[in-house]
Amino acid sequence: MSLTDCLDPVRKALLDDLDAGFAELYSEHRGVVFTTALRMSGAWSDAEDLTAEAFLRAYRALTGYDAARIAALQPRAWLLTILLNVWRNCARTRSRKPPPDLRDEPIDTPDPREGVEDAAVRRETGDELHALLGHLPAEQRAAVVLRHVVDLPVAEIATVLKVPQGTVKSHISRGLKRLRALGGAR
């Protein structure tokens, strides 16, 4: 029995051929990475940028990993850790720069496959959720998004955030309590 016999298909593919394996990694995890990025940033275009940057950094990191490290990788938790680090870095950079003139910003274009009513509901719900999540501290926001939007188990969230499971539960509980209070105040 070899090392690759007990691995999931993505890690096996990464070990066999990094480029083809990375395409498989991307296909399997792009949805969860984008959804997390969208809920953390609140803007479709920012989520696209964050997702692209996270996968770019993941690929660069994989080129330096040996077979044992790739075999031990937990792809979803690893990618979400990278994404949250990219998001924190972007947030830190934005806080140091003045906001751009919004008149120069392109307007988000709607998905042509989506109906007008569905787009309006999604936009309204997304904007409301983003506004509420924006009131949470970063740690609580990340924990709530990973648990209730992405539906990760607490153990995996602890791995992503690099904190104990009890801390994750605390962040989720406090975040939800604050969201309920904020939602009731509207």
For each of the domains in the chain, give its residue range(s) and CATH number, in order of start.
1-98 (1.10.1740.10), 115-186 (1.10.10.10)
Model confidence, pTM: 0.73
Mean pLDDT of 38-64: 94
Asked if the model's pLDDT at residue 75 lies above 90, the reply is: yes
Q: Compute how many other C-beta atoms are within 10 angstroms of the C-beta atom of residue 105.
A: 10
Burial annotation 164-183 (CB, 10 A radius, 16+ → b, else e): eeeebeebbebbbebbeeee
Instruction: Tell me the CA end-to-end span of the chain in Å, nearest whole number.
Output: 60
What pLDDT, on the 0 to 100 scale, is given for residue 103? 45
Q: How many whole angstroms separate alpha carbon 6 and alpha carbon 44?
A: 37
pLDDT in tens, 157-174: 999 999 999 999 999 999
